[in-house]
Amino acid sequence: MAQLLAQAWSRSHLRLHRHLLRHPGLLPDGASLLLAVSGGQDSMALLGLLLGLQRLHHWELSIWHGDHRWRPGSAGQAEELMAWCREQALSACCEPWIQAVAPPMNEAAARQWRYGALLLQAQALPCSRVVTGHTASDRAETLLLHLARGSHRRGLASLRTRRSLVPNAPEPALVRPLLIFDRSETAQICSTLQLPIWLDPSNGEFRFSRNRLRADVLPVLEALHPGAARRISGTAERLALEDEARDEWLDVGLQWLSTAPSGEGHGGPDTGLNRLRLTGLQPVNQIALLEHWIRRLTQQPLTAEQLAGLLDRLRPSQPPGRSDLPAGWRLQWDRSKLELFRPSN
């Protein structure tokens, strides 16, 4: 089976191969890759495609599986997946949730644990890329969820093709090469390559918001407009590219707003921002600069509603004040200056 996967070639292999050639920084030739494999169809399709392309791109592949222990049968499925990897002579490890507290029972906690564990494993091996099997369908779901929550524009560009796992460090990077495929296509890939799939029963539990969206909302959109998931995902990709370009101009704006001496700093905990200059701009520019400054320094995104509330309190007619931000950060302002303070240890 391992030899067959390594020699396999299909239109999907060609499609991904061409995509990687157009974007050589995504999965560089000869890179060490850590694949996050749940055993579901998307991650197994990712594994099958990369095994088929390995001879052309000379990667070193390692497999990581996380067992959240949400259900009694998860350990058995994890062992079956590890046994299959051993049969394929693949380097693989399984990491269970072993903390003293109960397993994560919500999507955010589970995601935080996974990425933290993947980062540690990538640093230990080491690997320059952590690779996940997110598809266009996943990105469409994320955009719709963030839109419903009133996310700022940047939140609508989530599930980017590539992002750093460590703030202000280029590697290890988290990459998502399967965003050019949707979920129906990964199912076809698994069928074509005769890959085993381990189904997660929790995918049918409606207490998870993404599952409800996947079951009730996206099928309606696809029925009305076939290919909707891919087009929504494409919108997220365009927003991400626009944000990257806009960030350069926002950095220039922060220099102008900085309270540091000319030529020093870009606005920060020790320099702050000029409140009068900020509030003298058009509201849309105020929001963009404030969001960029807070996110760059705290790594914590704010919703559109939170940003609008802050701007209302920062109007020149309003008195000095403070606001507690996520992760223990604090924003404080007087009549002329805004300052960010780090969480106290």
Query: Does residue 249 fall inside a structural domain?
Result: no
pTM for this model (two decimals): 0.79
Residue 260 is predicted with a pLDDT of: 66
Which tokens is 62 given?
């390692």
CA distance 323 to 311: 11
Residue 122 shares a structural domain with residue 225:
yes
Residue 171 shares a structural domain with residue 283:
no
> Long-range contacts of range 141-147, CB-CB < 8 Å, 24 or more positions apart?
141/210, 141/213, 141/214, 141/218, 142/236, 143/232, 143/233, 143/235, 143/236, 144/213, 144/217, 144/218, 144/232, 145/209, 145/210, 145/213
Q: Are 154 and 291 in contact (CB under 8 A)?
A: yes
Q: Are 97 and 105 in contact (CB under 8 A)?
A: no
Q: With H, G, I as helix, E, B as strand and everything else as coil, classify residue 176.
A: coil
Residue 210 shares a structural domain with residue 289:
no
Instruction: Quote the number of domains for the chain.
Output: 2
Cα–Cα separations (whole angstroms), residue 178 to 55, 164, 225, 274, 290: 19, 18, 22, 43, 33
Residue 14 shares a structural domain with residue 71:
yes
> For the residues 119-133, what does the mean pLDDT come to?
96
Helices 228-257 and 283-298: crossing angle in degrees, nearest 10, is 90
Last residue of a domain, one of 208, 237, 266: 237
Query: Does residue 68 fall inside a structural domain?
Result: yes
CA distance 271 to 257: 10
> For the residues 233-239, what does the mean pLDDT come to?
92
Q: With H, G, I as helix, E, B as strand and everything else as coil, classify residue 126.
A: coil
Residue 97 shares a structural domain with residue 233:
yes
In tens, the pLDDT along 181-197 reads 999 999 999 999 999 99
Query: Does residue 245 fall inside a structural domain?
Result: no
In degrees, rounded to 5, the angle at the alpha carbon of residue 246 between the alpha carbons of residues 240 and 249 is 160
Arithmetic mean of pLDDT over the chain: 88
With a cut of 50, say whether residue 267 has pLDDT above it: no
Residue-range definition of the domain harbouring residue 56 = 2-237
Residue 301 shares a structural domain with residue 155:
no
In tens, the pLDDT along 147-204 reads 888 877 777 888 899 999 987 788 899 999 999 999 999 999 999 999 999 987 666 6
Query: Does residue 243 fall inside a structural domain?
Result: no
Domain with residue 179: its CATH number is: 3.40.50.620
